[in-house]
């Protein structure tokens, strides 16, 4: 991490400033290791260039495994000339509306950055990007942006973030808050880190009454099953199913869902028996997204009214639905 990011950080327990000691820098002037210390003596290590404010992945373990295995599948540079070309950038634009002229030179935070596919968009548009990640995917993101002085990856809890109030010009969270025990708290914490007048974007799973992938009876049953297993078997069996769904079941489901009559049967089987991301035309993305759907500890779904209420309770204004969907909204602090 570059030393210029240090003033943004604070002790997540007390909110006090942090002092740096014992730091080691690389040849580019980036901090590789050191110790951050609060006024009350609490210390937090910087390991491999990442400030660490948690000692365990807690409920986010499946994401640590997921992003270590599929670290760059969703990056634009890995999809040039494929069927998924531009997908990540289009999704970012639809959810946030953060154009290059808006965020160039600004400091932007992402709550739940994973390996950093959206941070990549921010960095390419000239923004100073900070990603907060609870899982071991923080190390994956650091490697993905090794040597980039405009990107800072922090390992910490988005429900108790180690950032000063009003530290950032803009903030966003995409597909993450529903994976925490308290999505509304997560949004309130994100809002608190953004300056007055700054824009915040939030996208969470939509509640569909069991008609969508993320709240279908099959996905709910698979999640319960996989989360009843040890981490080794949970990851292994879920990965095997994700590959089976993406490469074998896809051969039936993809065409069947486009044929009248068969589409009803395929839709029922997908919702009740064989969950999968059958609408994606890239097998790598299907594997990743299917694994992502069936393994999280928390994966709640929500309504637009709920998300509006979260923003309202966080004292935001100009709350608007984004083009991405009913539970993707932006607001101004």
Q: What pLDDT does residue 286 have?
A: 98
Residue 8 per-residue DSSP state: G
* Residue 182, in any domain of the structure: yes
Residues 125 and 78 placed together within one structural domain of the fold: yes
Range list of β-strands (E), 140-195: 151-155, 170-174
Number of compact structural domains in the chain:
2
Q: How confident is the model at residue 325 (pLDDT cuts 50, 70, 90)?
A: very high
Specify the pLDDT at position 30.
97
158 with 82, same domain: the answer is: yes
pLDDT digits (tens, 9 = 90+) for 86-143: 999 999 999 999 999 999 999 999 999 999 999 999 999 999 999 999 999 999 999 9
Structural domain of residue 286, as residue ranges? 217-294
Q: Are residues 289 and 314 in the same domain?
A: no
- Reported confidence tier of residue 2, pLDDT bands at 50, 70, 90: very high
* Average pLDDT of the residues in 197-202: 98
Pair (285, 186) in one structural domain: no
Would 327 be classed as within a structural domain? yes
Residue 212 included in any domain:
no
Contact 247, 277 (CB under 8 A): no
Claim to verify: residue 290 and residue 319 sit in the same structural domain: no
131 occurs within a structural domain: yes
Output the pLDDT for position 213. Answer: 93
pLDDT in tens, 201-225: 999 999 999 999 999 999 999 999 9
State whether 308 and 287 are in the same domain. Answer: no
* Residue 193 resides in a domain: yes
Same domain, 173 and 233: no
Mean pLDDT estimate for the chain: 97
87 with 191, same domain: the answer is yes
Residues 10-49 have pLDDT tens digits of 999 999 999 999 999 999 999 999 999 999 999 999 999 9
Whole-model pTM: value is 0.97
* Statement to judge: residues 41 and 185 lie in one domain: yes
pLDDT of residue 129: 98
Q: What is the CATH number of the domain that holds 32?
A: 3.40.50.150
- Please check whether residues 84 and 185 belong to one and the same domain: yes
CA–CA gap between residue 246 and residue 258 (Å, rounded):
17
Nearby residues of 92 by Cβ (< 8 Å), 6 or more positions away: 98, 118, 121, 174
Q: Of all residues in the chain, what percent carry a pLDDT higher than 70?
A: 100
239's tokens? 């990965």
DSSP for 278-317, written as a single string: TT-S-HHHHHHHHHHHHS-S----B-HHHHHHHHHHTT-E
Q: What is the pLDDT of residues 228-278, one digit of tens each?
A: 999 999 999 999 999 999 999 999 999 999 999 899 999 999 999 999 999
Q: Are 194 and 259 contained in the same domain? A: no
Residues, the chain: 333
Are 240 and 91 in the same domain?
A: no
């Amino acid at each position: 991490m570059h030393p210029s990011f240090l003033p943004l950080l604070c002790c997540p327990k007390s909110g006090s400033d942090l002092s740096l000691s014992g730091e080691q820098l690389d040849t580019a002037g980036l901090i590789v290791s050191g110790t951050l210390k609060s006024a009350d003596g609490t210390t937090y290590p910087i390991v491999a260039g990442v400030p660490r404010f948690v000692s365990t992945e807690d409920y986010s373990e499946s994401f640590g495994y997921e992003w270590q295995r599929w670290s760059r599948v969703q990056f634009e540079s890995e999809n040039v000339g494929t069927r998924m070309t531009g997908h990540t950038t289009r999704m970012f634009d639809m959810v946030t509306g953060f154009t290059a002229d808006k965020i160039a030179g600004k400091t932007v935070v992402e709550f739940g950055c994973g390996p950093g596919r959206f941070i990549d968009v921010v960095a390419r548009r000239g923004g100073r990007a900070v990603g907060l990640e609870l899982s071991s995917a923080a190390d994956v993101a650091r490697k993905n942006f090794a040597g980039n002085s405009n990107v800072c990856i922090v390992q910490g809890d988005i429900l108790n973030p180690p950032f000063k109030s009003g530290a950032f010009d803009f903030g966003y969270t995409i597909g993450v808050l529903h994976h925490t025990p308290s999505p509304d708290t997560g949004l309130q914490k994100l809002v608190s880190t953004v300056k007055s007048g700054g824009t915040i974007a939030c996208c969470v799973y939509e509640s569909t009454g069991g008609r969508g992938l993320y709240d279908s009876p099959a996905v709910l049953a698979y999640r319960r099953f996989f989360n009843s297993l040890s981490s080794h078997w949970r990851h292994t069996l879920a990965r095997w199913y994700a590959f089976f769904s993406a490469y074998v079941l896809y051969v039936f489901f993809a065409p069947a869902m486009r044929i009248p009559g068969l589409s009803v049967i395929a839709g029922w089987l997908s919702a009740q028996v064989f969950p999968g991301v059958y609408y994606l035309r890239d097998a790598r993305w299907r594997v990743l997204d299917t694994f992502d759907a069936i393994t999280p500890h928390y994966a709640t779904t929500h309504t637009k009214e709920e998300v509006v209420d979260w923003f309202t309770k966080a004292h935001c204004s100009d709350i608007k639905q984004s083009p991405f969907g009913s539970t993707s909204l932006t607001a101004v602090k």
